[in-house]
Structure 1
Amino acid sequence: MLERIMIFAFLLMLSACTIGPDYHRPSVPTPDAWRYEEAQAKDTVNTLWWEQFEDPTLNELIHIALKENKDVKIAAARVEEFMGQYAAIRAGLFPQVAGSVSGQRKALTQYSNPPLSASADNPYNDFQALLSASWEIDVWGRLRRATEAARADLLASEEGRRGVILTVVTAVAIAYTDLLDFDRQLDIAERTAKSREHSLKLFQLRFDRGLVSELELRQVQSEYQSAIAAIPLFQKLIVQQENALSILIGRNPGRIARGKPLDELVLPAVPAGLPSQLLERRPDIRQAEQNLIAANARIGVAKALYFPVISLTGTLGAESTDLSRLFTGPARIWSYGANAAAPIFTAGGIAGTVKVAEAVQKQYLLRYQQAIQQAFREVEDALIDQGKSREQLQAQGQQVEVLRRYAYLARLRYENGHTSYLEVLDAERSLFNAELLYTRTKGELFRALVNLYKYMGGGWVVEAEKKGGINGDRNERVSGSADQHGR
């Protein structure tokens, strides 16, 4: 008995060994602060930022997208796939037990092994009921490293899913504000066309009476046709944008309801945050790190191939020629044993496998570092984009006011006979272009702010799912799987 206990203790001691490198997060230099950051920045990066627009229609569209978007559903199904893979690989750490029941009718000869006894019945029945167990003793940590890699794959898929949610939410917000932008530009084009149509009718009457030249009439007609030509472009953009937004919310192409017009949307606050916090918030960075952890663990899996695989096996059951006696004491059978299999000559095969695993780990390390650098760049670009877009919008707003006054004065001068209508046309053309540019810049500012929230990370993803009642059970199972492995 003592001998068995010592053997078991020895096996447990061996199983504490783990071949391969343990993971340590690489040291990556991070800037202390952003190059361009608003003084009025607020800690809103982990909030449901789209609610700051104060547009219930946008809130509803995002809520629908979280439930119905096909990319979100595909990403969730992919997490389920990796949960299954993790469960299957982790099962190898534990004994495997199987049961079998069989019944046969046999006939033997004197040449059988064992030979037929003269007193034995022939043919005869053979009934068996067996429980068999096997357990690979994870002496070198191969199974533990494989489980570690599978867990990292699972967590990487979960971060990938969160990254998809982040992308879809921001895409819906941008598509919606772009749609309102196109609505506004169409409105400007239609108002301008209507104004020029009125002018054209007046000039046609004056031309018919010989009060203006044909040159002046043709100039007015040209400006009218220019405004009319812009309308189909914006109508096309609106329909295409509605179709794109419909797909984002998981529906067939169709009309999209509007809430507030673009001018009434509230600009969200600029989110604040330190560069170092991106490592914990950005799903793409967290996914890249989990991929690195998985690749690091697979080096241990590859190196463990050099060492023997040790397994314990056992069988307990009953065998009888009489079914009624199958479960009696004399019918009991059992066996137990151990086996070991080790590579002797592989012609460099294992060394090649290790080399592949190490090369893959290097690739994922570089991808992790690249993801961090790209994240810093995206935030820096988004910060400067929204900041300068604000300045540009302010300047263009002032320009619109100046040109509106200029157009009014030009028409007044024309009506009083102090100038030609060419000056009026020039003023109205400048105002039309300035109004379009102002609207586009406002749309770009909304887009820049949405992208900034995207690039600052998805601390709000879990909160959005909770509020929408989405994937709560699956999130708990992913967390449970990760915690279970950690223990």
Structure 2
Amino acid sequence: MNKVITILIAAIISGCSLRPDMIEIQQEYRYQMDVYSINESWWESFGDERLNLLIQKALQNNSDLLIALNNIEKSRIALRLDRIEYLPNISLQGEASKSDKGYNNPTVEQFSLSAVLSYELDLWGRVRNKANASEAIYNATKFDYESARISLASSVANAYFLLISLREQEQILKDTLISYIQSVEYRAMQLASGEIDELVYAQTVATADEARAQLAGLQTQISQANSALAILVGGSLDEILYSDINVATRLPNLPQIPSGISSDILLKRADVASALERLKSSNYLVGVARTQWLPKISLTGIFGYSSADLDNLISVNKSIWSVGGSLIGPLLDFGRTYNSVEIANLEQNASFLAYDKAVKNAFSEIRTALDSRKNSMIKAQSTANLVASQQKVYDIAQSRYDAGYSSHLELLDSQRSLLSAKLSLTSANLEAANSVVAVFKAFGGGFEYESDEETKELLGINANSQN
């Protein structure tokens, strides 16, 4: 009866844990219920197969992503090691002895083989909290991988769009340079016939030289952008050195960003989720540190055989066994345990501050991304209108010059302004494309339409939120 009571008491105590209550996270903000969730393959919404292939290759070969995968494997093994502590440790132990009783007395030989079992009673939750802390870190590394994944995909998309934009500008400059060269040839004939003076001819040549210099500088940028993109996607050395990446001839049509996206979805960002898992881990580790105040109770058992004849050690034997327990507890550690607990508390506080920072950073990024997208769209449209206006200005200037109503310098100014507007439009379109990528990155992915019931199940209602 006493044994039964003892076992019941031990079972009750083993459910105890010195882990403190989780820090209460107060996050009050307004949100709107929506019908969208995260789409991990958000880049596919641009409808560019070349981009899809480049990102797929990058996700397979990029060094930073491989490091993140390696960290997941390390944390998984660490979790497995901590969970093994739930199980007893069993080791094999063998002994042999030989003694001589003296003259005319036989030599005595003794052999034994035994298994030693040791097991720590997790009375205060040390083993459980340590395993839970490792599990939280394991989850955090998986979220870190997702953060690295979306960051890599965003970088590839930005680099890809930059290369397209630069090649669009290259084509504009090439077409313009052809037109300028034709003008130089025409002005040369006019100069020879006396229709124009040398100043007009020199101005035309200077304009062509300026465009040629711009083109050479732009082609250097293209080479740099090509190499940077090749490195991102994990290209071979030959690909980085010699190959040109196949890109579209123009930027893709930009996907629409749905209105009314709930800010609650930001809490599902991988970096926010990772920070929360690290907060949970530090909370469990406070409980681990507190167990140093209390004794560790271990059970030890020895089970085996002994024999005077090695050949008959098991078949003809005398069984041996013993069961015992041990208790080890702190008596005087001169503040070691106290300081360890204080450090664990401070680390938990640091984890909370890191989580709070991650949430605030997420909200800041999405606001900036949405504002940038809105403004970049306005800028792109305004620049497109500017190109149309400058084209009209150039056409009028050309007509006026041909009719003798304006100077050659006025015509050249209109040419330069038109070229500048066209180049600005490619830059504005690039900015708009990158702003959409920034929105996807800030939200942690693209958006998929869901039914109202699926959305309610996904998002839930935050008790601290305000409708």
TM-score, with structure 2 as normaliser: 0.89
Q: 1:129 Cα deviation (Å)? A: 2.4
Q: 1:7 Cα deviation (Å)? A: 2.2
Counterparts of 2:182 and 2:116, CA distance in 1: 94
SS in 1 for 2:187: helix
Unaligned segments of structure 1, at least 5 residues: 35-40, 110-115, 462-487
Q: What's the CA shift string for 1:325-375, capped at 9, x where partnerless?
A: 211464211111000000111111111111111111111111111111111
Given the superposition, is the C-alpha separation of residues 278 and 25 from structure 1 closer, same or farther in structure 2, using an over 3 Å criterion? farther
Query: Is the 1:379–1:455 contact (alpha carbons within 8 Å) kept by the matching residues of 2?
Result: yes
SS in 2 for 1:65: helix
Query: Is the 1:403–1:430 contact (alpha carbons within 8 Å) kept by the matching residues of 2?
Result: yes
Amino acid at match of 1:147: A
Structure 1 counterpart of 2:248: 260
Counterparts of 1:25 and 1:287, CA distance in 2: 17
SS in 2 for 1:333: strand
Alignment of 1:296-307 (within 5 A): 296-307=283-294
Q: 1:276 Cα deviation (Å)? A: 1.6
Counterparts of 1:98 and 1:33, CA distance in 2: 60
Q: Which of residues 221, 234, 252 in structure 1 aligns to 2:218?
A: 234
Amino acid at match of 1:390: M
Q: 1:108 Cα deviation (Å)? A: 3.7
Structure 2 counterpart of 1:423: 410
Matched, 1:394 2:381: yes
Amino acid at match of 1:333: I
Q: 1:213 Cα deviation (Å)? A: 2.2
Q: 1:395 Cα deviation (Å)? A: 0.9
SS in 2 for 1:447: helix
Counterparts of 1:223 and 1:12, CA distance in 2: 90
Q: Which of residues 183, 189, 194 in structure 1 aligns to 2:173?
A: 189
Q: 1:257 Cα deviation (Å)? A: 3.5
Structure 2 counterpart of 1:175: 159
Counterparts of 2:105 and 2:112, CA distance in 1: 18
Given the superposition, is the C-alpha separation of residues 350 and 60 from structure 1 closer, same or farther in structure 2, using an over 3 Å criterion? same
Q: 1:258 Cα deviation (Å)? A: 2.7
Q: Which of residues 403, 421, 438 in structure 1 aligns to 2:425?
A: 438
Query: Is the 2:163–2:247 contact (alpha carbons within 8 Å) kept by the matching residues of 1?
Result: no
Matched, 1:95 2:88: yes
Query: Is the 1:128–1:319 contact (alpha carbons within 8 Å) kept by the matching residues of 2?
Result: yes
Matched, 1:225 2:203: no
Q: Which of residues 118, 134, 138 in structure 2 aligns to 1:150?
A: 134
Counterparts of 1:17 and 1:210, CA distance in 2: 104
Structure 2 counterpart of 1:213: 197
Structure 2 counterpart of 1:202: 186
Structure 1 counterpart of 2:266: 278
Q: What's the CA shift string for 1:425-473, capped at 9, x where partnerless?
A: 1111001111111100100111010011011014789xxxxxxxxxxxx
289-298 vs 233-242, which deviates more?
A: 233-242
Amino acid at match of 2:299: L
Structure 2 counterpart of 1:21: 20
Given the superposition, is the C-alpha separation of residues 256 and 340 from structure 1 closer, same or farther in structure 2, using an over 3 Å criterion? farther
SS in 2 for 1:26: coil
Report the aligned-residue RMSD. 2.3
Counterparts of 1:74 and 1:271, CA distance in 2: 34
SS in 2 for 1:262: coil
Amino acid at match of 2:6: I
Q: What's the CA shift string for 1:202-254, capped at 9, x where partnerless?
A: 22222233332222222212211111111122211111111111122111325
Matched, 1:406 2:405: no
Structure 1 counterpart of 2:455: none
SS in 1 for 2:16: coil
Query: Is the 2:31–2:262 contact (alpha carbons within 8 Å) kept by the matching residues of 1?
Result: yes
Structure 1 counterpart of 2:62: 69
Query: Is the 1:97–1:134 contact (alpha carbons within 8 Å) kept by the matching residues of 2?
Result: yes
Query: Is the 1:14–1:139 contact (alpha carbons within 8 Å) kept by the matching residues of 2?
Result: yes
Query: Is the 2:156–2:229 contact (alpha carbons within 8 Å) kept by the matching residues of 1?
Result: yes
Given the superposition, is the C-alpha separation of residues 191 and 249 from structure 1 closer, same or farther in structure 2, using an over 3 Å criterion? same
Matched, 1:3 2:5: no
Q: 1:173 Cα deviation (Å)? A: 1.1
Q: Which of residues 35, 44, 49 in structure 2 aligns to 1:51?
A: 44
Query: Is the 1:393–1:438 contact (alpha carbons within 8 Å) kept by the matching residues of 2?
Result: yes
Counterparts of 2:220 and 2:155, CA distance in 1: 20
Given the superposition, is the C-alpha separation of residues 225 and 125 from structure 1 closer, same or farther in structure 2, using an over 3 Å criterion? farther
SS in 1 for 2:117: strand
Q: 1:393 Cα deviation (Å)? A: 0.7
Structure 2 counterpart of 1:37: none
Q: 1:262 Cα deviation (Å)? A: 2.0
Alignment of 1:103-118 (within 5 A): 104=96, 106-108=97-99
Structure 1 counterpart of 2:451: none
Counterparts of 1:61 and 1:176, CA distance in 2: 9
63-72 vs 426-435, which deviates more?
A: 63-72
Structure 2 counterpart of 1:343: 330
Query: Is the 2:303–2:322 contact (alpha carbons within 8 Å) kept by the matching residues of 1?
Result: yes
239-248 vs 265-274, which deviates more?
A: 265-274
Given the superposition, is the C-alpha separation of residues 412 and 397 from structure 1 closer, same or farther in structure 2, using an over 3 Å criterion? same
Query: Is the 2:98–2:110 contact (alpha carbons within 8 Å) kept by the matching residues of 1?
Result: no
Query: Is the 1:289–1:368 contact (alpha carbons within 8 Å) kept by the matching residues of 2?
Result: yes
Q: 1:175 Cα deviation (Å)? A: 1.0
Counterparts of 2:325 and 2:353, CA distance in 1: 43
Q: What's the CA shift string for 1:130-176, capped at 9, x where partnerless?
A: 22211100111111111111111100111001111111111111111
Given the superposition, is the C-alpha separation of residues 140 and 48 from structure 1 closer, same or farther in structure 2, using an over 3 Å criterion? same
Counterparts of 1:68 and 1:166, CA distance in 2: 15
SS in 1 for 2:39: coil
Structure 2 counterpart of 1:86: 79
Amino acid at match of 1:269: Q
Amino acid at match of 1:7: T
Q: 1:99 Cα deviation (Å)? A: 2.8
Structure 1 counterpart of 2:454: none
TM-score, with structure 1 as normaliser: 0.86
Structure 2 counterpart of 1:481: none
Counterparts of 1:67 and 1:385, CA distance in 2: 31
Query: Is the 2:307–2:316 contact (alpha carbons within 8 Å) kept by the matching residues of 1?
Result: no
Query: Is the 1:414–1:420 contact (alpha carbons within 8 Å) kept by the matching residues of 2?
Result: yes
SS in 2 for 1:385: helix
Q: Which of residues 133, 139, 163 in structure 1 aligns to 2:123?
A: 139
Given the superposition, is the C-alpha separation of residues 319 and 57 from structure 1 closer, same or farther in structure 2, using an over 3 Å criterion? same
Query: Is the 1:325–1:331 contact (alpha carbons within 8 Å) kept by the matching residues of 2?
Result: no
Structure 1 counterpart of 2:231: 247
Unaligned segments of structure 2, at least 5 residues: 449-467
Q: What percentage of aligned pairs have identical amino acids? A: 28
* Equivalent residue pairs, number: 443
Counterparts of 1:119 and 1:432, CA distance in 2: 118
Q: 1:275 Cα deviation (Å)? A: 1.0
